[in-house]
């Protein structure tokens, strides 16, 4: 028995489904919705900005439960 900290188990999740990458994608999605909200040119982008930000926020909440 060692007194050092136990070693981390390697995750069996695929690399693309781990938390770091998916949190970055969710953050980009939220930022995209924010930019769509504050641009003055296209009404259709303004219309879908709330849905885009909501999808990014929900994705971030779900992904934050994923393993590292």
Model's pTM, two decimal places? 0.78
d(CA 48, CA 29): 12
Q: What is the pLDDT of residues 9-38, one digit of tens each?
A: 777 878 877 788 899 999 999 999 999 999
59 C-beta neighbours (distance < 10 Å), count? 17
d(CA 43, CA 8): 49
- Looking at residue 16, its pLDDT comes to 77
């Amino acid at each position: 028995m060692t007194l050092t900290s136990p070693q981390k188990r390697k995750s069996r999740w695929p690399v693309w489904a781990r938390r770091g990458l998916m949190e970055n994608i969710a953050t980009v999605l939220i930022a995209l919705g924010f930019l769509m909200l504050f641009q003055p040119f296209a009404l259709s982008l303004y219309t879908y900005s709330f849905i885009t930000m909501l999808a990014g926020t929900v994705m971030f909440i779900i992904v934050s439960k994923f393993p590292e």
